[in-house]
Amino acid sequence: MRQNTLLHAAFHVQGDLLRMGIDGYAILYPMTTPLADFTYEQALKRKYPSTLFLGVDEAGRGPLAGPVVAAAACYKREDYLIPEALEKQFAFIRDSKTISEKKREEMFALIQEHFHVGVGIIYPETIDRINILQATFLGMKEAVGSLRRSISQQSTINSLPESLRETLQAGQQYRHPDNGKVLLLIDGNQKLPNISLPQETVVSGDKIVKTIAAASIIAKVTRDRMMNEYDAKYPQYGFKKHKGYGTKVHMEALKTYGPTPIHRISFAPVAQAVLWFKELGIIRD
């Protein structure tokens, strides 16, 4: 018996199509084109009309330096339709890895306008303390919490007379308008532990589900901007170019200059650099 879920999603390849089943609904996607659209959310909306669907994704699990950033996104239109004038632009809300940095920045602004968003940022010291997987889960939970607060505040603001909106924005607490009817759509194959909200995982969700794709762009752009700031602080490492990943340039800089405060000491290449610099007497316990 399934617990704490609203649906069951299954995927399999049918010729050159990806078949997705959602509790009786069958959706066929062509495998040769970008897939991220609102088909998934629209099917869920027909089955669960009063539920909000929150796409959740992360950026930065693999790098040797910098934070892991998670984001959650929820489309502001309940019908999950794209305005005709925005169709070409919305086509670029897809897996963040498939579009250029310039286009991601453009989509970041578009997403902020048409989606509710939340972000969770987990820094290296926490990553080293609880491990990268648990840090990713924590970031996703923080992103979901931030998103729900944003939805709650904005929904309440819009329903109030103009004279009362300033009071709400000052920080008063109000009941969340979704009454707990939320379904998390998590990119990947691992559910969030220790969270009371219903959730489903979607393998390669950023390529299929528009809300997850939106979350992937928010997470990626947020993290990239942070790494660009770190590049200005530690220019010898080239963070603006590689964003903390273990490239040849980064590895050479790590061996030459040692780790910075934003490096993840629990990651093997960084730990080896720490050991090396300790042996040289440059770093002391």
Q: What is the 3-state secondary structure (H, E, C) of the chain?
A: CCCCCCCCEEEEEECCEEEEEECCEEEEEECCCCCCECHHHHHHHHHCCCCEEEEEEEECCCCCECCEEEEEEEECCCCCCCCHHHHHHHCCCCCHHHCCHHHHHHHHHHHHHHEEEEEEEECHHHHHHHCHHHHHHHHHHHHHHHHHHHHHHHHHHHHCCHHHHHHHHCCCCCCCCCCCCEEEEEECCCCCCCCCCCEEEECCHHHCEHHHHHHHHHHHHHHHHHHHHHHHHCHHHCHHHHCCCCCHHHHHHHHHHCCCCCECCCCHHHHHHHHHHHHCCCCCC
In 10 A of CB 251, how many CB atoms?
A: 14
What percent of the chain shows pLDDT beyond 70?
76
pLDDT at 139: 98
Task: Give me the CATH code for the 32-230 domain, please.
Answer: 3.30.420.10
Short-list 197, 171, 174, 170, CA closest to 186: 197
Average pLDDT over every residue of 122-134: 98
Q: Can you give the pTM of this predicted structure?
A: 0.82
pLDDT at 278: 76
Q: For residue range 194-250, what is the model confidence (pLDDT) as tens digits? A: 999 999 999 999 999 999 999 999 999 999 999 999 999 999 999 999 999 999 999
For 25-34, 64-73, 110-119, 143-152, which range has the lowest pLDDT when averaged over its residues? 25-34
Mean pLDDT of the chain: 83
Which pair of tokens denotes residue 68? 């892991």
> Tokens 């996703």, residue?
140
pLDDT at 174: 33
Sorted by where each begins, the domain ranges of the chain are: 32-230
In 10 A of CB 92, how many CB atoms?
A: 18
pLDDT at 22 over 50: no
> Tokens 């509790």, residue?
23
pLDDT at 158: 59
pLDDT at 151: 85
> How far apart are the C-alpha atoms of 169 and 227, rounded to whole Å?
31
**Band of residue 181 on the pLDDT scale cut at 50, 70, 90:** confident
**C-alpha distances in angstroms, 18 versus 15, 208, 244, 279?**
8, 10, 34, 54
